[in-house]
Amino acid sequence: MAQVKNRLTPFFENITFERDDNELVLNFGPQHPSAHGQLRLMLHLQQEQIVKAHPDIGYLHRGMEKMAENMIYNEFMPTTDRMDYIASSSNNYGFALAVEKLIGLEVPRRAKVIRMLLLEINRLMSHLFWLATTALDIGAMTVFLFAFREREYLMDIIEGYCGARLTHAAIRIGGVPLDLQDGFLHQLRVFLNKLPQNIKDYEDLLDSNRIWLMRMEEVGVISTEMALSWGCTGPMLRASGVAWDIRKEEPYELYDEVEFNVPYSDKGDNYARYRIYMEEMRESAKILYQCIEMYEKCEKDGQTELMAHAPKYISAPKIDIMTQNYSLMQHFVLVTQGMRPPVGEVYVPTESPKGELGFYINSQGDPYPYRLKLRAPSFWHTGILTDLLPGHYIPDVVSIIGTTNIVFGEVDR
Amino acid sequence: MRAYKPKDNVQAKAYYTDRFYVAPQVPKTAVEEDAVFAADLAAIKAKFAVKEAYIQVEQMVIYINACDIYGVLELMRDELAYTQLSEMSAIDWLAKDNSFEIFYQMLSMTKRKRIRVKYFIQKGEAVDSVEKLFRSADWSEREMFDMFGIEANNHPFMKRILMPYDWEGYPLLKSYPLEGDEFAAWYEVDKIYGKEARDIIGPELRDTARVDSYDSERFARLGHEVPKGTKITGDEPAVSQSYQEEDGVFLIKKLDKESSVIIDDPQR
């Protein structure tokens, strides 16, 4: 029998596209340049106005929670990179912190500072990427080129640190694997000194741009109640009038030692979200300057530890493994069998660039987590489109999807 | 004799556990030690039965009856300022006592506190939807249904969300293998080519870690390379390799080491 090559029938073929009541059903995605990944939207239209929106997700579903149940804890770390792949260190960090809370580890100060440097660089990378792609969706090509240029410098710095540009896996359970490379701080300083002028350039291009304002102002308004009810977090929530930043309210790492502000707005529209991303970049730069100082102080005080000392859970430093028999044996057990955290459960939220990234881990004392739930902010930021899009017009769909800043690695997991 | 493998939990297991190993516990503390949690718990206890309550890793965990969930969350939202449902999902305990554990992760932004509300249901039972209280439960309940097959009563649109709409089986159950079951192996074959082509195409190989050393299309046999698609018998002659250092093929003809520069500043 010859193969019937063309049996792949589209899922929407049983839907009537044009109906008697003048309502048109438009299928948007899952392959659409402005869908930011694999978003599929079923839009019911009256003329150009949307009366019903039905987001459909799952086109990038890889079953990460299932994978986690079948992997030892350290093995899962590179998989977390593939969630929010625009800022992958923040996922690494969320997972590492959750396991550390579970086993009750204290991370050395120098590792904490390096982690904060990485997290804030990731936040800048993510926000620059957001600005670039959203501006491109709206039609501002120049901003796209400018913001990608700056993001490139940050990726170079990260590449120097961990060898990867996108999927970093730069953080380990119990600390960080490496010290900063030579020139890291210098390169970062050079970048940060230029950043205010760069941000001003973007703002000069966008802030009072007539087209930008028309597409942004009073479009996609999310009320405070709606944002809370839909589980919005991060810039989405702060643009809707709630000044809630986990770094500030439930500080982790050394965020209680650095000074920064939490920008928020009570407008709730696209423009408010745009302003929040811009202001957060400035705040991140502020934090980075303080982290550089902290790092230099660590260096001066001779704090060289990068990994926590917990022989039951964490391998000894390489020098011990190479010279001491017992460390080598322990390392061998931890690599082949994996660490066995205590029995219990933990939910640890962190402020990723997109919002609240939470890891729920239920451990039964085995090397494999019994249940691991990934709480990704973008999941709910996609869900809110159901209630947000009706009443808007087709062009607004693109700008609203843009400002929600959803990443599908994270939505589908 | 083949080793016995339990069918109700086919997930990866530790291949060695010491006979005398007793797993330690993540410490639990009494609710009274935190004034805010104690007040919240008293307010919930006044109206609903609370089976167990403790604090673990800075968050309060309470166990309630399954039928009370809507009332408890409504009370927490309206009177105790727990305004956000961050997350909810299930844990599969079917192998242990045929039950599911459902958890709701609540957040109060004014108190800066988080509470995890939990209850057990038996297999085949449905939960009460809290979608009317928190819109975020709309999608999380759908995800829970998709992954565990637990339905939510009074949910407006109880359909699969991540898996294809015509999928069979619930992937996050412990009885569901990591590579997928038989349905998964035939799903795309049936969808693209039709059931009648099963004999020609065969089931999908879903074990991503599988390496077929005779697969000349995807794996190079280093030192014994053969043209693509060649049937490998195993007695292919070794391919001779020559290196530049050993007067082999020259890759760089004129390398002047003196005049080359190493750039150390990427932002030059």
Sketch out chain A's domains with CATH numbers. Answer: 64-376+392-412 (1.10.645.10)
State how far residue B58 is from chain A, nearest Cα, in angstroms: 9
Task: Name the residue among B13, B147, B197 with its Cβ closest to that of A1.
Answer: B197
When divided into structural domains, chain B yields a total of 2
Closest CA to A402 of A100, A137, A40: A137
pLDDT in tens, A131-154: 999 998 888 889 999 999 999 999
Q: Is the full-model pTM beyond 0.80?
A: yes
The pLDDT of residue A4 is 46
CA-angle at A264, arms to A263 and A270, nearest 5°: 115
Q: Which run of H or of E encompasses A116?
A: helix A109-138
Asked if B134 and A69 come within 8 Å (Cβ–Cβ), the reply is no
**Tokens 């010859």 belong to residue:** A2
The pLDDT of residue B91 is 94
Calculate the dihedral angle through the C-alpha atoms of B70, B76, B81, B83, rounding to the nearest 10 degrees: -30
User: What is the token pair recorded at A234?
Assistant: 């991060």
Q: Contact, B67 vs B128, CB < 8 A?
A: yes
- CA A165, CA A170: separation in Å to the nearest integer? 11
Asked if B23 and A340 come within 8 Å (Cβ–Cβ), the reply is yes
Residues of A in contact with B172 (CB under 8 A): 65-66
Cβ-based burial of B165 (10 A; exposed 0-12, middle 13-18, buried ≥19) = exposed
Asked if B87 and A360 come within 8 Å (Cβ–Cβ), the reply is yes
In a domain, B17, yes or no: no
Cis peptide before B203 (omega within 30 of 0): no
Angle between helices A109-138 and A88-103 (to 10 degrees): 140
CA-angle at B212, arms to B208 and B215, nearest 5°: 115
Size of interface A-B (CB pairs under 8 A): 156
- CA A52, CA A29: separation in Å to the nearest integer? 16
Task: Name the residue among B56, B172, B200 with its Cβ closest to that of A344.
Answer: B56
Question: B62 pLDDT band (50/70/90 cuts)?
Answer: very high
Question: A361 pLDDT band (50/70/90 cuts)?
Answer: very high
Cα distances (angstroms) measured from residue A317 to each of A299, A323, A325, B14: 19, 10, 13, 25
Asked if B56 and A365 come within 8 Å (Cβ–Cβ), the reply is no
In a domain, B163, yes or no: no
Are B205 and B103 in a shared domain?
Answer: no
**Tokens 């516990």 belong to residue:** B25
Is the pLDDT at A348 greater than 60, yes or no? yes
Q: Contact, B134 vs B73, CB < 8 A?
A: yes
Chain B, nearest residue to A64 by Cα: B172
Are B98 and B182 in a shared domain?
Answer: no
Per this entry, what is the length of chain B?
268
pLDDT in tens, A241-260: 899 999 998 999 899 999 99
Are B190 and B146 in a shared domain?
Answer: no
Are B130 and B213 in a shared domain?
Answer: no
Are B106 and B221 in a shared domain?
Answer: no
ipTM greater than cut 0.90: no
Are B182 and B140 in a shared domain?
Answer: no
Is the pLDDT at A373 greater than 80, yes or no? yes
In a domain, B94, yes or no: yes
In a domain, B18, yes or no: no
Mean pLDDT (whole number) for B241-254: 67
pLDDT in tens, B136-178: 999 999 999 999 999 999 999 999 999 998 899 999 999 999 8
Closest CA to A413 of A362, A374, A356: A374
In a domain, B55, yes or no: yes
- CA A291, CA A124: separation in Å to the nearest integer? 14
Is the pLDDT at A190 greater than 70, yes or no? yes
Closest CA to A129 of A202, A77, A193, A78: A202
In a domain, B165, yes or no: no
- Beta-carbon-side half-sphere exposure of residue A296 (alpha carbons within 13 Å): 11
Are B32 and B149 in a shared domain?
Answer: yes
Cβ-based burial of A282 (10 A; exposed 0-12, middle 13-18, buried ≥19) = middle
**B42 in contact with A, Cβ within 8 Å:** no
In a domain, B57, yes or no: yes
State how far residue B67 is from chain A, nearest Cα, in angstroms: 22
User: What is the token pair recorded at A187?
Assistant: 């390169």
Are B102 and B193 in a shared domain?
Answer: no
Are B47 and B99 in a shared domain?
Answer: yes
Chain B, nearest residue to A102 by Cα: B26
Q: Which range of residues forms the domain containing residue B186?
A: 177-234
Is the pLDDT at B53 greater than 70, yes or no? yes
Q: What is the CATH number of the domain that holds B74?
A: 3.30.460.80
Share of chain B above pLDDT 70, in %: 88
Are B64 and B131 in a shared domain?
Answer: yes
Residues of B in contact with A348 (CB under 8 A): 57
Are B201 and B143 in a shared domain?
Answer: no
Are B142 and B86 in a shared domain?
Answer: yes
In a domain, B40, yes or no: yes
State how far residue B88 is from chain A, nearest Cα, in angstroms: 9
Amino acid at A100: E
Question: Chain A neighbours among B 148-207 (CB < 8 Å)?
Answer: 160-165, 171-172, 174, 176, 178, 191-194, 196-197, 200-201
Chain B, nearest residue to A66 by Cα: B172
